[in-house]
Amino acid sequence: MANVNELLKEKLNEKHYQRLMALENPKLHAFVADAIELTNPETVYVCTDDDADIEYIRKQAIALGEEKTLKIQGHTSHFDGYKDQARDKAMTKYLIPKGSSLGESLNSIDKTQGTDEVRGFLKDSMVGREMLVCFFCLGPTNSDFSIECAQITDSPLVAHSESILYRRGYDQFKNLGDSENFFRFVHTEGELENAVSKNVDKRRIYMDLEENLVYSTNTQYGGNTLGLKKLALRLAIQKASAEGWLAEHMFVMGAHGPNNRVTYFAGAFPSACGKTSTSMLPGQTIIGDDIAYLRKKDGKMYCVNVEKGIFGIIRDVNPKDDPVIYEALTTPGEVIFSNVLIDSDMKPHWLGSGSELPEEGINHSGKWHKGKKDDKGNEVTASHKNARYTLNIADLCNRDPLIDDPKGVELGGIVYGGRDSDTLVPVEQAFDWTEGIILKGTSIESETTAATLGQEGVRTFNLMSNLDFLSIPLGKYIQNNLDFAEGVDKRPSVFSVNYFLKNKDGNYLNEILDKKIWILWAELRVNGDVEAIKTPTGYIPIYDDLKKLFKNSLNEEYSQAQYVEQFTIRIPENLAKLDRVEKIYKEKVATAPQILFDTFANARKRLKDCSDKHGDYVSPFDLVTK
């Protein structure tokens, strides 16, 4: 590469050159210069934290056709290409030097080969375009949690989305000085056709863990292009492992207990298992719905929301089930709708919105009408099933006042959830931290449904709901979580929840809002307000406590019959679950710590002992100590 300073002076006008030079960081300057030399943009725009720069990006997104203005003020829509509607797992890879290994199940490519390939796609990709150089901060600014990030892209949509999702970071880089400890992202849409990425067969998302650098090309979909989201989570997991903290795929919310008490919970749930709806429970407050960083300080465990916005699935968001989100999506404010249906009045529509869909409109497939099919004869739904919205949490009426606190919030509890029709009770507290991490966290399964994959009841393993994003060996990741509680005086209680338990007729045993009761009971347990019943796998609620919660919080009666049906201990199913998960670890995770197998063995013995005494299906009343 030519002299860095000379190249920057040549390509940047004086205003933007001075903006970049105000950040006295040689690694940053070299990163920008390399991206310029590689992609060859016509112009370069360096963004600061000023509102004027964010407004410029918004206007560029409209001017270039990446977003269109909608009827409601501040709302815009965007369409990804028909074949660019989700994260590309196959082409999301780690760049690994020869002789290195990340262990089991992690998708990687030789670093030299992969770097040459993706940089070949990036070569001259911004000819005739403007490069945007943006600065953001993961976590609150001026905090021990802060991670500075530099995002380079030719997509105003990407820059606009990240300005909603992440805190501004230009001033953070001023404080960083000449440190090399920051994340870097380079993205290009590649060649466009009808304003969408044309060469999706050349879509690549490659991550260099040694350099904390991500390349993304020939894609527009947020999960592949928003560098600070799940791509940065992968970088952060490795960084956390080296530095002794945790980066987790978790929501953070405040559960409101008696006498104005607020207890903070973090929770990990696979997709479609109730994660966002839990973080948005009525009467509670949200800090974040997706990614959390956890650190220890003064014998306590603290966490923050990495983001300040939500990039959420819009399907089934309606005024009954998601009133707070629905209000934000239907009133003036900054919102980007992705891959929904837009009618002739420039109004967005999506599946499960609670209102009737129009007969025709524009969507990700182009002009759409009811009954439209694709070239394979499949129905083209009005709105894509993975359609999204992007909004700022500050625009929600239930935002928690500590959302930007640089200290984070002290964790009282951690919740793990999955989709399970026949095994786990609606809520259960682990005996201790180790059992919580292993029996609740590393054992998460999520059942498929007939509506999505054509075969109901197939259980997908997803430890800690973080399997897709791990950048360290699975065994190391588990051990990090186990060790993290060392030195914490009051460890957070660990819970499992299951919103999807069914009876023999296939009907759900829980109503949608029942999850509020399970979280409020967990809040009471964390604070020692209620006793519990000991089972072979943890502690479950006493009937009278749930009866009071249902009456006081939902104004509903809760019968003993409901309680027994929901909280019966299903021993054969629990044993089968242990066998399934243990088999995965034995066959696929060579680095799994021995304590995992010991914990499984102890739980298996307790279950069998309980079965010998009470039978295979045990009423919670049979376990009450006389």
- Indicate which CATH number applies to the domain containing 351: 2.170.8.10
**Residue 77, domain member (yes or no):** no
CATH number, domain containing residue 452: 3.90.228.20
**Residue 48, domain member (yes or no):** yes
The span from the CA of 521 to the CA of 530, in Å, is 8
Does one domain contain both 155 and 95?
yes
- Burial environment of residue 90 by CB neighbours within 10 A (0 to 12, 13 to 18, 19 or more): exposed
Burial 328-349, CB ≥16 within 10 A → b, else e: bbeeebbbbbbbbbbbeebbbb
Domain boundary among 363, 395, 427: 395
Which strand ranges, in their side-by-side order, compose the sheet holding 68-69? Answer: 68-69, 75-78, 335-338, 388-392, 309-313
* pTM of the complete model: 0.94
Locate 607 and state its tokens: 């279950």
pLDDT digits (tens, 9 = 90+) for 58-91: 999 999 999 999 999 999 999 998 888 888 888 9
Does one domain contain both 288 and 372?
no
Q: Amino acid identity, residue 299?
A: G
Parent domain of 377: 311-395
Which of the four pLDDT bands, split at 50, 70 and 90, describes residue 2? low
Four-CA torsion 57, 62, 64, 66, nearest 10 degrees = 100
Ranges of beta strands (E only) in 329-408 are 335-338, 341-342, 348-349, 360-363, 366-369, 388-392
Mean pLDDT of the chain: 94
DSSP 203: -
Residue 20's pLDDT is what? Answer: 97
Closest CA to 35 of 156, 227, 213, 220: 213
Does one domain contain both 431 and 489?
yes
Does one domain contain both 469 and 331?
no
Does one domain contain both 239 and 341?
no
Domain boundary among 197, 228, 244: 244
Unique residue bearing structure tokens 């500075």:
148
Does one domain contain both 288 and 186?
no
pLDDT digits (tens, 9 = 90+) for 179-233: 999 999 999 999 988 888 999 999 999 999 999 999 999 999 988 899 999 999 9
Closest CA to 125 of 193, 252, 40, 65: 40
Closest CA to 168 of 139, 145, 131: 139
Does one domain contain both 31 and 149?
yes
| Alpha-carbon distances, residue 74 vs 327, 329, 516 (angstroms) | 14, 10, 32
Does one domain contain both 273 and 321?
no
**Residue 31, domain member (yes or no):** yes
What backbone phi and psi angles, to 5 degrees, belong to 51? Answer: -55, -35
Does one domain contain both 415 and 358?
no
358 neighbors 375 (Cβ within 8 angstroms) = no
**Residue 81, domain member (yes or no):** no
Does one domain contain both 428 and 559?
yes
Active site residue 273: yes
The span from the CA of 236 to the CA of 212, in Å, is 9
pLDDT digits (tens, 9 = 90+) for 330-361: 999 999 999 999 999 999 999 999 999 999 99
Does one domain contain both 234 and 260?
no
When divided into structural domains, the chain yields a total of: 3
Determine the distance from the C-alpha atom of residue 403 to the mean position of all C-alpha atoms in its chain, rounded to a whole number.
Answer: 17
The span from the CA of 327 to the CA of 376, in Å, is 37
Residue 195's pLDDT is what? Answer: 85
pLDDT digits (tens, 9 = 90+) for 438-458: 999 999 999 864 333 345 567
Locate 273 and state its tokens: 């298992």
Does one domain contain both 428 and 441?
yes
The span from the CA of 402 to the CA of 113, in Å, is 45
**Residue 572, domain member (yes or no):** yes
Q: How many contiguous H segments (helices) and E segments (strands) does the chain have?
A: 19, 35
* Mean pLDDT, rounded, for 302-319: 95
Q: If you count them, how many residues does the chain have?
A: 626
**Residue 80, domain member (yes or no):** no
Active-site option among 273, 303, 397, 610? 273
**Residue 79, domain member (yes or no):** no
The span from the CA of 526 to the CA of 535, in Å, is 18
Domain boundary among 206, 227, 244: 244
Burial 261-275, CB ≥16 within 10 A → b, else e: ebbbbbbbbbebbbb
| Alpha-carbon distances, residue 11 vs 4, 119, 252 (angstroms) | 11, 20, 43
**Residue 72, domain member (yes or no):** no
591 neighbors 476 (Cβ within 8 angstroms) = yes
pLDDT digits (tens, 9 = 90+) for 514-524: 999 999 999 99
CATH number, domain containing residue 240: 3.40.449.10
